[in-house]
Structure 1
Amino acid sequence: MTVKIACYGSCITRDNFNSKLNKNYKERYECVATSLHTSIISLVSPRVPFDEMQLDHVDIKSAYRNKRIVIEELNRNFLEDLKDSQPDYLIMDFFPDIYFGVVFSQDQIFTNNDWYITRTSFYRKLHDKFALKIGNNSADYLSVWLPAVNKFMQFLKDNVPNCEVIINKARFSNRLLDDTGNLSYISPLDSHNEIWNVLDNFVISKYDLKYIELDHNNYYISHQPTLGWDIFQLHYQDNYYHDFLQQLDKTIQSNNPVNT
């Protein structure tokens, strides 16, 4: 029997369950629900009404995917997906809050996703917009984020009681290794990593959660055209995802020891 997994956060979590990276993962795991690029603050806020015709930002190579991410963000689909699928484990990374932040527009809240949402007619037509980013104002951000995390954890307790949360202590890297083995460096995001560490450690401690932590100094980011990736500080070489799954295997096995 396979273990049912849900993923929240970004590709650094979801791509561990990609057959192009971990080709045999389906022998052990079934990914039953995914949330990409949605802030926790947004996720637990009321749905945002929208006209789908105004979600008109087009990235030719991934237009359908990007629009779907925006629609799921505004509809808060992930909460219903969790209730319907009842995963055994939810693996979470906090990339959306670290990297994007949130937008407040009158009584509406959504992720300040400047890859997709803020490039749309939907966004341009909103009035009285205010963007809040944790790197610019950590005190104000945390005053909203902390209650949102608590609300989400309570949602899980009430609606998905048999689901255990595992935090993916992911981090950005700026070490790029090309196909010929040459090492170069792109813009570092060290301040983001520092904040990420604080959020991870707080949530792990407060809610007594398990976590997966790889030493990111042992890995390199890369450009993988077979996956349609651009170079980005979270797009690692294959060995990162292999090692992540091995740690996940051990974490789950520790929950289900074999009697001898």
Structure 2
Amino acid sequence: MSILTINLFFEVSFTQFHSSLIALITESTTIDVTHYEDIPDEKKRFVVEDFEKMMFHQLEQSVPDYLIIDFYSDALKNVGYLDKEIAITISPIIEQSRIKDELTFTRILDHSDNEKYLSEWRKALQEFKKRIQPYFNNNQIIINFCELTTKYYDENKKSPILSKPRPNSCLQCVLEPAKRRVPKRISRCA
């Protein structure tokens, strides 16, 4: 179910796009993105929300009926630490902007060592669960389980080979622990 489809059936209280659980549970910081002309205006808020860790404040303010989680950022994107306490998701927005070159990372957590990444991610998942428990019962949490495509069709209905294969194994490394650690009664969307 895409975000567009969800909007047809539900009133969306808020969205938190392009944020890793690891980044979400770290301390917040501020950033002024108004002068980054290479970030589209409609996407600037996603960068600010990741830096300022606004999700938990938004949960408190809106008290939504359901929480829909997609772990794509956790499976595919790196996490950059600005210091020991502050991390951000190196989202596609940041990857494609000069902001990435202007940030000073003390450490980048990437998927080159999946065991290390997953060790930190599991800790973040536990903390995330603690933080959302006041707002949701188990049956109010929906996890979007998915796989990345290994082929696609272009405008000529040809199926070109992906120049960079999508790492489904990495995605599965994130989703499998989530399936085990999140309570069994949680609804799952396929």
What's the TM-score bracket when you normalise by the shorter of the two chains?
A: 0.7 to 0.9
- Contact persistence 2:79–2:110 (CA under 8 A): yes
Change (3 A) 1:131 1:15: farther
CA shift, 1:186, in A, is 2.4
Q: What RMSD, in angstroms, separates the aligned Cα atoms of the two structures? A: 2.5
**How many angstroms apart in 1 are the aligned matches of 2:33 and 2:41?**
12
Q: 1:78 aligns with which of 34, 46, 55?
A: 55
Change (3 A) 1:157 1:70: same
Q: How many residues align?
A: 186
Structure 1 unpaired stretches of 5+: 1-11, 19-24, 214-260
CA shift, 1:36, in A, is 0.6
Please tell me whether residue 33 in structure 1 is matched to residue 14 in structure 2.
yes
**How many angstroms apart in 1 are the aligned matches of 2:3 and 2:25?**
20
Please tell me whether residue 204 in structure 1 is matched to residue 156 in structure 2.
no
**How many angstroms apart in 2 are the aligned matches of 1:14 and 1:37?**
13
Equivalent residue number for residue 141 of structure 1? 117
- Contact persistence 1:102–1:110 (CA under 8 A): yes
1:29 counterpart letter in structure 2? F
CA shift, 1:173, in A, is 0.7
Please tell me whether residue 14 in structure 1 is matched to residue 24 in structure 2.
no
Of structures 1 and 2, the larger Rg is shown by 1
CA shift, 1:67, in A, is 1.3
CA shift, 1:118, in A, is 7.0
Change (3 A) 1:13 1:93: farther
**How many angstroms apart in 1 are the aligned matches of 2:32 and 2:164?**
37
**How many angstroms apart in 1 are the aligned matches of 2:70 and 2:165?**
16
- Contact persistence 1:13–1:168 (CA under 8 A): no
**How many angstroms apart in 2 are the aligned matches of 1:152 and 1:52?**
27
Alignment of structure 1 residues 100-111 onto 2, 5 Å: 100-107=77-84, 108-111=86-89
- Contact persistence 2:118–2:174 (CA under 8 A): no
Equivalent residue number for residue 223 of structure 1? none
Please tell me whether residue 119 in structure 1 is matched to residue 92 in structure 2.
no
**How many angstroms apart in 1 are the aligned matches of 2:140 and 2:105?**
39
Change (3 A) 1:139 1:80: same
**How many angstroms apart in 2 are the aligned matches of 1:161 and 1:132?**
29
2:17 counterpart letter in structure 1? L
Q: Percent identity?
A: 21
Structure ranking higher on relative contact order (CA contacts 8 Å, 6+ apart): 2
CA shift, 1:161, in A, is 3.1
Structure 2 unpaired stretches of 5+: none
Cα deviation code 1:154-199 (max 9, x no counterpart): 11112x1347211111221132224554433323534x21121232
**How many angstroms apart in 2 are the aligned matches of 1:110 and 1:32?**
23
The structure in which a higher percent of residues are strand is 1
**How many angstroms apart in 1 are the aligned matches of 2:81 and 2:11?**
35
Q: 1:58 aligns with which of 38, 55, 60?
A: 38
Q: 2:106 aligns with which of 124, 129, 132?
A: 129
- The two structures have a TM-score, normalised by structure 1, of 0.63
- Contact persistence 1:174–1:187 (CA under 8 A): no
Please tell me whether residue 170 in structure 1 is matched to residue 150 in structure 2.
no
